[in-house]
């Protein structure tokens, strides 16, 4: 039983709750065939029949919010309040697309001057079966980010979720079925890595959306490129959190503590690198240390807990190794706050200072409650350090002058920058990055466009000149 890759293993108690066998090749073949058959009729379903199903899925999530939230906490350990917020966010995304289906998919006339005899328009057609490969850190939100827009568009989805959240993955088969989607519109499979290439190579599969690590992204994008299929990659990040001398330091520190520690620091857009100008560095560090020390590590189901365990003991061990590498490279590591209880995958919050580019951990993503705090002399150096990263996902600038914040934001080479807020995650703000954080966008109109055939139809007078 322990050899099965797909397992529910409570990261707070380390108890193995359930294991699930891998899907076989025959099951994968059946799933592709069913998804393709579903696509052939779903693509013709009027948008007005698709949108109520999305709205119904949102309603079902909200109606059973606590139960869905507890499943998140059980499988990957996030604190229950954040789990409930993830259920709400997922419902908001479904509702967003339910409310805007007609508008997002309506044909667009193309104003033409050179081809004035024709009536040119772009119609938005689905591509077919899509593969969604998703990570465990937001087990519902990540799936909904792809499924809601793409089901609305008329595509059908095969999900390969992370192996440590099998029950969260299974939620969606049930949810979409109860919401009225046809059989095959959405299918979760506990598929082994060895069958990924096989699925992507199937001619009925027309695209792949992956959220996860750089390593997985590079492998899966290579499969997609070799098969000449569209892919989107939402990968890791090392978001800069720039603090300028005119920032409100107390409020900035509150956001910094939250921005680094929500979801136990396991967020692609966590505030991973705090870049603080010299003038306010000492004040920021002292107050940040106090803020982190006040976090309450413990049972994620206890509403008083503000620091959750990591998703697994392996994740905690990996992070501890990275801290050792940073220290070996010359950084100072300071553990902060009272010792966390030695339970499950709880991790002692740590502050790293003295991180410099020659340190082997400097360019790594640290996925947990480890804060890198970098002193810079001024705004120009802050921008240079912010951009000295292989990643380019989100970022923040804290300043008392919003115009200055917007100007600095323009200088930061990432996909999203927020002034006076950690990188924000909302149903109606597009999401995505540049550089090693991947390519493509999710959410809003940008997200739905990723897997749509923007087909040109030009109705021309037969006597028009060539």
- Tell me the C-alpha distance between 373 and 382, whole Å: 12
Question: Which stretch in 95-103, 175-183, 205-213, 253-261 sits in contact with ligand NAP by CB under 6 A?
Answer: 205-213
- Tell me the C-alpha distance between 270 and 256, whole Å: 9
Q: Which parts of 134-264 are beta strand (E)?
A: 156-160, 186-188, 205-211, 230-234, 240-243
396 CB-side CA count, 13 A: 25
Q: Which is nearer to ligand NAP, 162 or 280 (CB)?
A: 162
Q: Shortest approach of ligand NAP to residue 137 CB, angstroms? A: 5
Q: Which is nearer to ligand NAP, 376 or 386 (CB)?
A: 386
Paired residues of 15 in beta bridges: 10
Among 7, 187, 196, 444, binds ligand NAP (CB under 6 A): 196
Q: Shortest approach of ligand NAP to residue 383 CB, angstroms? A: 22
* One character per residue 431-450, x = contact with ligand NAP (rule: CB under 6 A): --x---xx------------
* One character per residue 247-286, x = contact with ligand NAP (rule: CB under 6 A): ---------------------x------------------
Backbone phi, psi, residue 452, to 5°: -115, 140
Q: How many of the chain's residues bind ligand NAP (CB under 6 A)?
A: 27
Q: Which is nearer to ligand NAP, 88 or 381 (CB)?
A: 88
Per CB under 6 A, 136 contacts ligand NAP: yes
Per CB under 6 A, 340 contacts ligand NAP: no
- Tell me the C-alpha distance between 217 and 212, whole Å: 7
Of all residues in the shown chain, the one whose CB is closest to ligand NAP is 212
Per CB under 6 A, 393 contacts ligand NAP: yes
Q: Which is nearer to ligand NAP, 110 or 170 (CB)?
A: 170
Q: Shortest approach of ligand NAP to residue 52 CB, angstroms? A: 28
Enumerate the H helices of 229-311 as residue ranges: 249-261, 278-293
In three-state secondary structure terms, 20 is strand
Non-local (6+) Cβ contacts of 460 within 8 A are: 115, 117, 118, 119
- Tell me the C-alpha distance between 230 and 236, whole Å: 20
Q: Which residue out of 86, 234, 365, 379 is catalytically annotated? A: 234
Backbone phi, psi, residue 51, to 5°: -65, -40
268 catalytic per annotation: yes
* One character per residue 217-246, x = contact with ligand NAP (rule: CB under 6 A): --x--------------xxxx---------
Tokens of 22: 């891998």
Tell which positions 56-85 bind ligand NAP, by CB under 6 A. Answer: none
Among 213, 296, 335, 449, binds ligand NAP (CB under 6 A): 213
Tokens of 334: 């300071």
- Tell me the C-alpha distance between 30 and 267, whole Å: 34
Q: Which is nearer to ligand NAP, 260 or 375 (CB)?
A: 260
Q: Shortest approach of ligand NAP to residue 88 CB, angstroms? A: 18
Tell which positions 144-173 bind ligand NAP, by CB under 6 A. Answer: 160-163
Among 11, 77, 126, 135, binds ligand NAP (CB under 6 A): 135
Tokens of 167: 């029950």
Paired residues of 122 in beta bridges: 108, 456
Q: Which residue out of 75, 134, 168, 268 is catalytically annotated? A: 268
Tell which positions 10-49 bind ligand NAP, by CB under 6 A. Answer: none
Tokens of 9: 């293993």
Tell which positions 304-333 bind ligand NAP, by CB under 6 A. Answer: none
Q: Shortest approach of ligand NAP to residue 57 CB, angstroms? A: 21
168 catalytic per annotation: no
Kindly tell me the burial class for residue 226, based on how many C-beta atoms sit within 10 Å of its own C-beta (0-12, 13-18, 19 or more): exposed
In three-state secondary structure terms, 97 is helix
- Tell me the C-alpha distance between 123 and 143, whole Å: 26
Residue located via tokens 């553990």: 335
Q: Shortest approach of ligand NAP to residue 456 CB, angstroms? A: 31
CB 429 within 8 A of CB 443: yes
The residues annotated as belonging to the active site are 234, 268
Which residues contact ligand NAP (rule: CB under 6 A)?
133-137, 160-163, 193, 196, 211-213, 216, 219, 234-237, 268, 365, 367, 393, 433, 437-438
């Amino acid at each position: 039983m322990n050899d099965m890759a797909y397992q529910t293993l409570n990261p707070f108690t380390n108890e193995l709750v359930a294991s699930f066998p891998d899907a076989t090749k025959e099951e994968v073949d059946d799933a592709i065939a069913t998804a393709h058959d579903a696509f052939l009729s779903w693509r013709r379903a009027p948008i007005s029949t698709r949108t109520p199903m999305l709205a119904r899925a949102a309603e079902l999530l909200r109606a059973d919010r606590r139960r869905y939230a507890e499943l998140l906490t059980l499988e990957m350990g996030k604190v229950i309040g954040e789990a409930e917020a993830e259920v709400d966010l997922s419902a908001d995304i479904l509702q967003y697309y339910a409310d805007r289906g007609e508008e997002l998919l309506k044909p667009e006339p193309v104003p033409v001057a050179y081809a004035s005899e024709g009536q040119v328009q772009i119609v938005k057609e689905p591509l077919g079966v899509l593969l969604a490969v998703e990570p465990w850190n937001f087990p519902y939100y990540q799936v909904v980010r792809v499924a809601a827009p793409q089901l609305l568009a008329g595509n059908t989805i095969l999900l390969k979720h992370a192996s440590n959240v099998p029950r969260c993955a299974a939620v969606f088969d049930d949810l979409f079925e109860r919401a009225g989607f046809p059989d095959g519109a959405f299918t979760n499979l506990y598929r082994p890595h060895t069958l990924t290439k096989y699925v992507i190579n199937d001619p009925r599969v027309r695209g792949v959306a992956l959220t996860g690590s750089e390593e997985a992204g590079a492998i899966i994008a290579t499969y997609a490129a070799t098969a000449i299929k569209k892919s989107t990659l939402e990968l890791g990040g090392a978001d800069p959190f720039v603090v300028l001398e005119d920032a409100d330091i107390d409020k900035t520190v509150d956001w910094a503590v939250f921005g680094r520690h929500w979801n136990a620091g396991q967020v692609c857009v966590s505030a991973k690198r705090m870049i603080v100008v010299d003038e306010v560095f000492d004040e920021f560090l002292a107050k940040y240390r106090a803020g982190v020390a006040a976090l309450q590590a413990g049972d994620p189901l206890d509403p008083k807990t503000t620091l959750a365990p990591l998703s697994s003991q392996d994740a905690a061990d990996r992070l501890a190794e990275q801290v050792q590498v940073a220290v070996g490279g010359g950084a100072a590591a300071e553990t902060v706050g009272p010792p966390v209880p030695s339970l499950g995958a709880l991790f002692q919050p740590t502050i790293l200072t003295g991180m410099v580019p020659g340190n082997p951990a400097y360019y790594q993503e640290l996925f947990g409650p480890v804060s890198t705090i970098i002193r810079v002399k001024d705004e120009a150096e802050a921008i240079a350090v912010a951009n000295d990263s292989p990643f380019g996902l989100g970022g923040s600038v804290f300043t008392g002058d919003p115009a200055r914040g917007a100007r600095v934001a323009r200088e930061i080479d990432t996909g999203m920058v927020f002034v006076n807020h950690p990188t924000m995650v909302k149903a109606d703000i597009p999401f995505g990055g540049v550089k090693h954080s991947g390519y493509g966008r999710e959410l809003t109109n940008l997200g739905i466009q990723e897997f749509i055939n923007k087909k040109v139809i030009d109705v021309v007078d037969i006597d028009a000149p060539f």
